[in-house]
A and B are shown apart, each in its own frame.
Chain A
């Protein structure tokens, strides 16, 4: 069975602070994908990143960075110099590779950036 755990239900920081959202996953599959999605107040899900299980290189995209550690089954997401527009619910997700595969989502972390 697959499971994604986002232990942080809510995080609140002041603008310009760095913030890390934790994600821990469980799977018996040897190949899988990990994802992060952003859900702003408007409700649509916005794709941020997909990471292949055999690629443990960290990735940086502007103020966003992701740290994938297979040894601890974690895929954490860091926002550097946070901005008010980063306020949203962030979901970590997992699916196995091959064909049409359902995404298994964590419960989400509500991030509030205060001015």
Chain B
């Protein structure tokens, strides 16, 4: 697609429920990144994918968080047993490896509210 697409744009969930956030990167972008931005805070790295593998998962805050990427394209970030501190905007970005540098393109994010 023309840009990085994230869905849903907004999600309100009850504490303890599981949620899935989706990221559809730009076609041909091999690298995909997940970040979290809490209210008034900077961007916190969660995980990145190179193709379907995740060389760096160091930013995932707990084992309730997991992510996968299939077909080198769409990625899903899953949060199990959500807690109120999980409330944040979850941003996805993609970039192309090799060739002319095109930079990171960020999606508009999913605003997650845990009540």
Say whether A55 faces chain B, with CB atoms less than 8 Å apart.
Answer: no
Say whether A69 faces chain B, with CB atoms less than 8 Å apart.
Answer: no
Please report the C-alpha to C-alpha distance between residue A93 and residue B91 in the assembled complex, in whole angstroms: 15
Closest Cβ of chain B to A9, distance in Å, is 9
CB neighbours of B33 from chain A (8 A) = 100, 102-103
Count the B residues whose beta carbon is within 8 Å of the partner chain — how many? 26
Say whether B56 faces chain A, with CB atoms less than 8 Å apart.
Answer: yes
Q: Which residue of A lies closest to B45 (CB)?
A: A102
Contacts A43-B89, A45-B91, A91-B42 hold; do A103 and B104 have CB atoms under 8 A apart?
Answer: yes
Contacts A45-B91, A47-B104 hold; do A103 and B50 have CB atoms under 8 A apart?
Answer: no
B55 x A100 contact (CB < 8 A): yes
Q: Mark A35-52, 1 if CB is under 8 A from B, else 0.
A: 000000001110100100
Please report the C-alpha to C-alpha distance between residue A108 and residue B35 in the assembled complex, in whole angstroms: 15
Contacts A100-B31, A103-B33 hold; do A43 and B43 have CB atoms under 8 A apart?
Answer: no
B42 x A106 contact (CB < 8 A): yes
A103 x B42 contact (CB < 8 A): no
Please report the C-alpha to C-alpha distance between residue A91 and residue B104 in the assembled complex, in whole angstroms: 14
B108 x A100 contact (CB < 8 A): no
A91 x B31 contact (CB < 8 A): no
Say whether A99 faces chain B, with CB atoms less than 8 Å apart.
Answer: yes
